[in-house]
Structure 1
């Protein structure tokens, strides 16, 4: 319980102190979403046909229960999330990682925007509903977690530069501990999202497929 309170206090203080940076990163993410949705209209017929074929194959796999077993899907999802947050943690420990963190959050928004935009483009309002129940729920956990790690990484890199410039390197340790606590907490959040992706999301999509015909 004490550890949970410490994590909550750390996250609360972090968000309060970095409001402007959170606003900037969130706007950057939203720009990625908008740009991703616009890319759909720029696809040529061949590219659209290939994506439509893949989408049909995916829907058929859900109908026939030939998509990967939930336990395997959980392993893949959890592994991907851990790799992602581990990479972001490493980038946050270096000054050169700041632009890469910003690029990463933009690309994440771009991918989500493209996915939702393509579904809407092909399936109209049904595609919007399908995206809302199959893409949005887990991302309500994933996106805030990634934004928190991005902001924390940028903030730690700034503290690192500041401490090196004034030659007080020993003072960076508390910031390092706080950064690690935040990353660990967000990793736990991503593991929860993996459970949703592996066990609940496929069932929801399977139930919705008949309504798309």
Structure 2
């Protein structure tokens, strides 16, 4: 059975998990978007002023890629570790779905705020800031969530119904998948660290003419 057939079989067997992760992630994006829309004036002004200072610093100062890389790596490792740890428990499913909701909220909030910056003409800035790394992060994040929701549900079923232990072969497959996901997250981290700041700087200087 090749990879495509395995993926199709897995989807048919676990449609409910795919649906749950997708729904929670989309709800999070929607909530984040509405949070920006209904933000009070003072908070919006403070955030806009902070962001204006931040954008000017990107244009005029050299980005410390070492510090940025470490910060992004730490952020991604915390997220990855949380999902993995929850997935190895019998009650991990609701906690992983909560992480999906928070991740979606963060993405929706960030994109919506950037979109409405520069008097509602921040589409290019929003794309440059969020799209490159999230093309890599989001599929990996969703797949990781599904894998560990499946695993957590399997442990729950075996605990209360089969009274057995999860197959060690399954556990080895899970560990292998974590390794693959980690490698993909590292690629996304490199993109976010080295590509995104340059794209943002290009947009700010050439599209919005911030010198």
- Does TM, normalized by the shorter one, top 0.5? yes
TM-score, structure 2 normalization: 0.88
Corresponding residue for residue 181 of structure 1:
176
Residues 93, 153 of structure 2: 8 Å contact kept:
no
Q: Helix, strand or coil for the counterpart of 2:168?
A: helix
Deviation at 1:83, TM superposition (A): 2.1
Deviation at 1:185, TM superposition (A): 0.9
Corresponding residue for residue 54 of structure 2:
58
> After superposition, where does 1:17-166 map in structure 2 within 5 Å?
17-67=13-63, 69-123=64-118, 126-164=121-159, 165-166=161-162
Q: After the TM superposition, which parts of structure 1 deviate over 4 Å for at least 4 consecutive aligned residues?
A: 8-11, 13-16
Deviation at 1:104, TM superposition (A): 0.7
Residues 20, 97 of structure 2: 8 Å contact kept:
no
Query: Please, which of 183, 203, 209 is the counterpart of residue 208 of structure 1?
Result: 203
Residues 11, 182 of structure 1: 8 Å contact kept:
no
Residues 160, 172 of structure 1: 8 Å contact kept:
no
Deviations 1:126-169 (A, max 9, x none): 31221112201101111111111111111111111222221221
Structure 1: which 5+ residue stretches go unaligned? Answer: 1-5
Deviation at 1:14, TM superposition (A): 4.3
Deviations 1:11-64 (A, max 9, x none): 736456434421321122111111111111221111011100111111011011
Q: Helix, strand or coil for the counterpart of 1:54?
A: helix
d(CA) in 2 for partners of 1:62 and 1:15?
A: 43
d(CA) in 2 for partners of 1:44 and 1:98?
A: 34
Residues 159, 172 of structure 1: 8 Å contact kept:
no
Deviation at 1:115, TM superposition (A): 1.0
d(CA) in 2 for partners of 1:56 and 1:125?
A: 14
TM-score, structure 1 normalization: 0.87
User: Cα RMSD over matched residues?
Assistant: 2.1
d(CA) in 1 for partners of 2:81 and 2:12?
A: 24
Of 119-128 and 49-58, deviating more is 119-128
Deviations 1:59-109 (A, max 9, x none): 011011243x11221122122212210121001001222111101111111
Deviation at 1:10, TM superposition (A): 11
